[in-house]
Amino acid sequence: MYDVEIEDMEWNEELQAYTYPCGDLFQITKEDLKLGEEIARCPSCSVCINIVYNVEDLHGQEKQQSPRGPPSNPSL
């Protein structure tokens, strides 16, 4: 098993998961991480990676990615 820093993974908005390319595609969701799941498995082989992260970082990213309200109209 290999350790991979979450910073080395890429957030995929469409999949709502962190992805990591190998010969195939490792992926793990924020919900998986919040539930304590730290191992991502390759769907085409037996390789597994251990995701290294801080739970606080996940909460910080959600705040940064939270949707904003509608833009205000300054002409009103």
The 10 Å Cβ neighbour count of residue 49 is: 20
CB 49 within 8 A of CB 20: yes
Q: Which domains does the chain have, with CATH numbers?
A: 2-62 (3.10.660.10)
Query: What does the pLDDT read at residue 60?
Result: 55
Instruction: Tell me what pLDDT residue 59 has.
Output: 62
Q: For the whole model, what pTM was predicted?
A: 0.56
Write the pLDDT tens digit of every residue in 34-45. Answer: 888 899 888 877
**43/24 Cα distance (integer angstroms):** 7
Q: For 1-59, how does the pLDDT look when each residue is reduced to its tens digit (9 = 90+)? A: 888 888 888 888 898 888 887 767 788 888 888 888 899 888 877 788 898 888 777 76
25 touches 7 (CB < 8 A): no
Write down the residue that tokens 């996940």 correspond to.
58
- What's the rounded Cα separation, in Å, for the pair 62 and 11? 12
